[in-house]
Structure 1
Amino acid sequence: MKISGPVAYRERPGRGMPLVALHGIGSNSAGFAELLPHLPQSCRVIAWDAPGYGASQPLAADWPVAANYAEALAGLLDRMGIDRAILLGHSLGTLMAAAFARRWPDRVEALVLASCALGHGVSPGAALSEGAKARIDELQALGPEAFAAKRAPRLVRDPDGHPEVVALVASNMAQVRMPGYGQAARMLASGRLLDDLAALAVPASVIVGTGDMMTPPQANRRAHKAIPGRIRGPLIELPGAGHAIYQQEPAAFARALAACLDQTLPVANSVQAASQGMTG
């Protein structure tokens, strides 16, 4: 793991356009370890620890919004000298990725959103949504390890049949801590993913597991429909996966990711060329 300023990250060196992976609310950069062997070995992959996770410092605001995480990501990419990247967001990471792409479209080659968290649309500072409050209360009452043991099975399709995946998810989730988790839960409460997607100028695709009970397929279909038509990539539903999609079905997820990029990268190039033509 490397630390750049206040944000820590893991990197697998490679060539070409970097793939930047943004984890969900109950995970961290290590959660992508199962996926890496299924990605092209030539691909440069950067997985961050979101502010308040792993070795990353928490944000200053008690109730941050998605744009605050996007600003932290911009700072990390600046320090790494990365001008443009492919963004892969999972769950809460989809809110961060979409907020970044909306603000800095010239820095995003393509966007892939997995297990989309739509957000609860609560105004910052108002009463927390029931789901966000329950997350914070459970972590404080149970502690990280018991909290992870209780929640991890919900993220896996057929958890009794996949105890090794449940254990993997629980191991990552047991590393969450305050204040980072509380900040992330409040960001989820105020999130408005559909608004950010509707304003996109970057090609975007969606991947979801059909067994996802946390961010179910119908919510991901809403997210996919919100992407403007001319930049809308595929919607891929994986039958063998739950919410922890790239941990439960890493090979299938890698194939879906490749299919999304195969279709959206040419669109990204044409959009970029058109933009340069208008400004040239």
Structure 2
Amino acid sequence: MTITTLPLGDGDLHVRQDGPRDAPALLLIHGTASSSVSWNGLVPLLTESHRVIRVDLPGHGRSAEPAGGDYRVPHQARRVGEALDRLGVGHAVAVGHSSGGLTATALAEQRPDLVTALALVNTGPGMDAFIAQETAAIDPSRWPPSDEQLRMLASTGFGRADYEIPQEFMDVLRHLSLGTFAATTRAAQDYLEQRRLPDRLKVLGKPLLVIFGEDDRRWRSSSAAGYLAVPGATVEMLPGVGHTPIVEDPPRTAALLLAFTALHS
């Protein structure tokens, strides 16, 4: 693994690279309140045939909060595109988990020359698919939350309520600022409310793979069918898996990604 900190205009961006540098590039983008470590179980299954690039989005993991406080999805995408330019990546298949799929989509909108294909993993197509969470209110003045509250926040990210949440997820949440958490959540909602993802993707003309855990407790899994409005899109449902197939079932997720990238890298 190569770890790089790229100084960009409004803050440093943390990047991890694995696999041969001359292999086709595969960009992995995490969701809100997560980081590049969420892909740890998946990366070893991808590196034989790909240069795997992971970023920590602004304010997440080891990346700095943006100096201007701009967490809008298009701004996040511009920063990721700039990072790939700095790394000398000319083309990449972009993979986004959860709200990371919004950033991947925005990157393809801005840089159709850079993004050759898109894969979205449990990314809700619109806010009508969102499942409202019944969690205890967290006092902003007492951030970060307690371990019990952190587990409550993270638990819906997995199919079973008793799923043992990986420690790295807890650590990322614990070190996330309240400002970043609130701003990125709001930014994702704004992006989806401006235009549903299938409508954005239809005009891009990019190959699209959608992977969805059937037991997702954050987004209605049935909503994945909405992506079939995108010409040529493939939708794959994973039984027995929740919102985070990249952690809950890396082998099945990797197999789907590798079959897709073999055609479109």
Query: What is the TM-score of this pair, normalised by structure 1?
Result: 0.79
SS in 1 for 2:210: strand
Letter in 1 for 2:24: M
Q: Of the candidates 195, 198, 202, which is equivalent to residue 194 of structure 1?
A: 198
**Counterpart contact for 1:159–1:166, Cα < 8 Å:** no
1:17 and 2:20 aligned: no
Letter in 2 for 1:97: A
Structure 2: runs of 5 or more not aligned? none
Deviation larger for 41-50 or 203-212: 41-50
**Counterpart contact for 2:202–2:229, Cα < 8 Å:** yes
Change (3 A) 1:131 1:67: farther
SS in 2 for 1:98: helix
State the Cα distance separating 1:49 from its structure 2 match.
0.2
Q: Of the candidates 71, 80, 90, which is equivalent to residue 83 of structure 1?
A: 90
CA distance in 2: counterparts of 1:34 and 1:139, whole angstroms: 33
> Percent of aligned positions with the same letter in both sequences?
25
Q: C-alpha offsets along residues 170-213 of structure 1, whole Å, 9 cap, x if unaligned?
A: 34433322432222112112022334223212111100100111
SS in 1 for 2:23: strand
Deviation larger for 174-183 or 74-83: 174-183
Give the aligned partner of residue 143 of structure 1: 144
Give the aligned partner of residue 66 of structure 1: 73
CA distance in 2: counterparts of 1:208 and 1:234, whole angstroms: 11
Q: Of the candidates 114, 126, 129, which is equivalent to residue 121 of structure 2?
A: 114
Change (3 A) 1:34 1:172: farther
Letter in 2 for 1:213: R
SS in 2 for 1:45: strand
Give the aligned partner of residue 278 of structure 1: none
Q: Of the candidates 29, 32, 44, which is equivalent to residue 37 of structure 1?
A: 44
State the Cα distance separating 1:151 from its structure 2 match.
1.6
Q: C-alpha offsets along residues 233-262 of structure 1, whole Å, 9 cap, x if unaligned?
A: 311111121111110101111011123334
Structure 1: runs of 5 or more not aligned? 122-128, 269-280
1:225 and 2:255 aligned: no
Letter in 2 for 1:180: T
Give the aligned partner of residue 161 of structure 2: 159
**Counterpart contact for 1:87–1:111, Cα < 8 Å:** yes
**Counterpart contact for 1:86–1:108, Cα < 8 Å:** yes
**Counterpart contact for 1:115–1:216, Cα < 8 Å:** no
**Cα RMSD (Å) of the superposition?**
2.7
Letter in 1 for 2:34: S
Change (3 A) 1:204 1:138: farther
Q: C-alpha offsets along residues 88-146 of structure 1, whole Å, 9 cap, x if unaligned?
A: 1011101100011112111112110101133549xxxxxxx9969x99x7373552553
CA distance in 1: counterparts of 2:241 and 2:91, whole angstroms: 30
Query: What is the TM-score of this pair, normalised by structure 2?
Result: 0.84
1:102 and 2:104 aligned: no
State the Cα distance separating 1:226 from its structure 2 match.
3.8
More helix by share: 1
**Counterpart contact for 1:91–1:117, Cα < 8 Å:** yes
- Size of the aligned set, in residue pairs, is 250
Change (3 A) 1:65 1:4: same
